[in-house]
């Protein structure tokens, strides 16, 4: 398989889904957003607790993650709900940032609509016509080279680094071999794996960037004056046999396979067009990390989880895999693939990687992940650095 069926966008990107995104400009639009989205077939609510009283750099980060999530090719049209008019996180600035893509953007300001109930009515009607139009678009054949592939792990145990992560690396290598791009993220969870990663860098400049950016994150941690044990590795990691952040990192890095690392990009930044593996400067918080990967335009992500997980991004299908049979049994409602055959000696890493690859292409073409069917949306969170002011 070297292609999938997706929705072509006017900017040339290809989506795996065709959602109407109902977007909260700030926390105070959340309830209206939920009421509107719950009234419309094919609408996805995107709510959050930010957009106000943040430091300038954090409000910019909130704005970027929200608007770039809307720019992701899985989103066909956008309906923004605003409650007043904050700096950046407001209807006008967000509309301007999203409409450059050519996708339809509409909005409702709760105050200008005459309050919460009128805003729901007005926005629901706008959403109805946007979805009617979206529903007429057909999937068309798209090459794997148009795929931006997210890689992440969470609730890792020792099976992750030995089985599901290296199998995912094999899958990522296959995507890249066909001209696609992959994103490896979670920088604090790469502390201790620098030498292995740098050995895969395209050149010395990229190798130095890998060392420097991982060190940057470590400095932020050191500046707290705290021992991160208990947070990294997390309690579930420790129960699963992971003793140190270095051990977790070395296992986590394996999901990037053997492809060349082309560059390091910032949180939510879209990697350049050249095929290959890119690293993104995200934190270890699973939802913040995968939200940044979705904001970069990834159409699907594989989440490797030794312990099992529910996490799913609202608009980027989040395929969960595990190498631990007990975790699969306990969490099979939300874990898509059981790869415990690797450690049971029943399949090779390559066979498992091929299995993930087939699943990814099927999901890109419209097969629903278990978590999508259950409307899981725990995978959206916006990273922040500073205070609420």
For other proteins, the binding residues (CB under 8 A) are 157-159, 161-162, 188, 191-193, 195-196, 218, 221-229, 232, 238, 240-241, 243-247, 249-251, 306, 324, 326, 343-346, 348
Question: Least distance to other proteins from the beta carbon of 5, Å?
Answer: 35
Q: State which residue, 161 or 275, has the beta carbon closest to other proteins.
A: 161
Q: What is the DSSP string of 72-116?
A: STTEEEEEEEESS--SSSSHHHHHHHHHTT---EEEEETTTTTSH
**Do you find a cis peptide bond into 324, omega within 30 degrees of 0?**
no
Whether 211 and 194 have beta carbons less than 8 Å apart is answered as yes
Quote the least distance from Cβ 276 to other proteins, whole Å.
23
Distance of alpha carbon 240 from its chain centroid, rounded?
24
Q: How far is the CB of 311 from other proteins (least distance, A)?
A: 21
Task: Give the nearest distance from C-beta 331 to other proteins in angstroms.
Answer: 16
Q: Kindly tell me which of 37 and 342 has the beta carbon lying closer to other proteins.
A: 342
Judged by beta carbon, residue 107 or residue 284, the one nearer other proteins is: 284
| Cα–Cα distance measured from residue 194 to residue 246, given in angstroms and rounded to the nearest whole number | 10
Nearer to other proteins, 24 or 249 (CB): 249
| Least separation in angstroms between CB 344 and other proteins | 5
Report in angstroms how near the CB of residue 240 gets to other proteins at its nearest: 5
Cα separation of the two ends of the chain = 51
Can you tell me the distance from the alpha carbon of 74 to that of 103, in angstroms, rounded to the nearest whole number?
11
CA distances from 292 to 287, 351, 353 (A): 9, 30, 24
**At 21, is the secondary structure helix, strand, or coil?**
strand
CA distance 221 to 213: 13
Q: Which CB sits closer to other proteins, 126 or 248?
A: 248
Structure tokens at 185: 């993220």
Nearer to other proteins, 58 or 157 (CB): 157
């Amino acid at each position: 398989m070297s292609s999938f069926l997706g929705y072509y966008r006017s900017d040339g990107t290809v989506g795996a889904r065709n959602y109407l995104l109902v977007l909260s400009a700030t926390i105070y639009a959340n309830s209206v957003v939920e009421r509107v989205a719950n009234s419309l077939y094919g609408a996805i609510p995107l709510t959050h607790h930010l957009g106000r009283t943040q430091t300038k750099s954090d409000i910019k980060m909130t704005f970027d993650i929200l608007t770039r999530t809307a720019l992701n090719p899985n989103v066909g049209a956008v309906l923004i709900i605003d409650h007043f008019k904050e700096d950046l996180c407001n209807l006008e600035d967000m509309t301007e940032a999203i409409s450059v893509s050519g996708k339809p953007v509409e909005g409702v300001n709760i105050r200008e609509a005459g309050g919460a109930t009128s805003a729901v009515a007005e926005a629901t009607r706008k959403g109805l016509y946007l979805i009617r139009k979206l529903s007429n678009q057909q999937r068309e054949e798209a090459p794997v080279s148009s795929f931006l592939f997210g890689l992440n792990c969470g609730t890792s145990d020792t099976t992750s680094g030995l089985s599901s992560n290296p199998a995912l690396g094999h899958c990522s290598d296959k995507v890249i071999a066909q001209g696609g791009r992959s994103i490896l993220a979670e920088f604090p969870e790469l502390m201790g794996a620098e030498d292995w990663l740098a050995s895969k860098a395209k050149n010395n400049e990229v190798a130095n960037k890998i060392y420097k950016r991982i060190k940057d994150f470590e400095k932020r941690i050191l500046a707290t004056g705290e021992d991160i044990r208990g947070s990294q590795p997390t309690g579930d990691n420790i129960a699963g046999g992971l003793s140190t952040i270095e051990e977790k990192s070395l296992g986590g890095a394996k999901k990037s396979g053997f492809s060349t690392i082309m560059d390091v990009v910032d949180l939510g930044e879209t990697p350049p067009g050249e095929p290959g593996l890119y690293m993104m400067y995200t934190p270890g918080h699973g939802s913040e990390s995968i939200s940044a990967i979705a904001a970069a335009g990834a159409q699907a992500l594989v989440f490797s989880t030794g312990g099992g997980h529910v996490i799913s991004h609202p608009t980027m299908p989040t395929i969960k895999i595990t190498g631990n049979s007990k975790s699969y049994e306990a969490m099979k409602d939300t874990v898509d693939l059981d790869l415990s055959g690797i450690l049971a000696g029943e399949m090779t890493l390559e066979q498992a990687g091929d299995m993930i690859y087939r699943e990814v292409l099927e999901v890109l073409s419209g097969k629903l992940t278990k978590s999508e069917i259950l409307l899981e949306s725990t995978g959206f969170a916006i990273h922040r650095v500073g205070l609420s002011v």
